[in-house]
Amino acid sequence: MLQIQQQKKNKTMSNFDLKAYWQLETQEHETIARKTIETLQGSFSACLESCAKAVTNGNKIMLFGNGGSAADAQHLATELSVRFIKDRAPIAGLALTTDTSTLTAAGNDYGYDYIFSRQIEALGNKGDIAIAISTSGNSANIIKAIEMAKEKGITIIGFSGKSGGKMHDICDHILIVPSQTTARIQEMHILLGHMLCGALEQKLGLVS
């Protein structure tokens, strides 16, 4: 029995065409990157202007998302608050995805849908920026966080994909990656996030 299972496993492995897989994945990435470049510059410019205004006025940028998007929120908040490429003054960036005590307490006491909205209610101020990251645009806890941000006069920037989902109509600015593939959307989110960090540094005159 074990020998038969091993033979089946070896056969399955031998049928994998790495070259074809490599070409398909990288070609799709290139296609989506090109479409992103062609379609999102205007929306990106609006996001940059809002972030620059907020930081200039002494406000902060809060980022949040689930799963891979949580990692992106943490990553980009660090690029802002520490540095991106060169040493410069810090930019107030805060990930709402990293405090396990807050996340688990809010999830336990109020429900998972409220893990971000509760933090925005506690920490957000009028004039701040909330960057909501969701590949589908439909995550319940993201939507509730956006609703809370609206109540507090916080500008909402969405990073999404596909149709933009529910986020499409409730964000002040939204970057919708033109793809249906979660992996490609996430790849473009980190590209756009890095570009936002770099452009913000230069627009604020923090680097030359």
- The answer to whether residue 2 sits within a structural domain is no
Q: Is residue 126 part of a domain?
A: yes
Question: Does some domain include residue 162?
Answer: yes
The answer as to whether 14 is a domain residue is no
How confident is the model over 74-132, as pLDDT tens digits? 999 999 999 999 999 999 999 999 999 999 999 999 999 999 999 999 999 999 999 99
Model pLDDT for residues 135-182, shown as the tens digit of each residue: 999 999 999 999 999 999 999 999 999 999 999 999 999 999 999 999
Which structural domain range is residue 82 located in?
A: 41-203
Kindly state whether residue 11 falls inside one of the protein's structural domains: no
Domain CATH number, residue 78: 3.40.50.10490
Residue 49 lies in a domain: yes
Q: Is 6 part of a structural domain of the chain?
A: no
- Per-residue DSSP letter, 127: T
Nearest to 60 by CA among 69, 73, 51, 70: 51
Count of domains forming the chain: 1
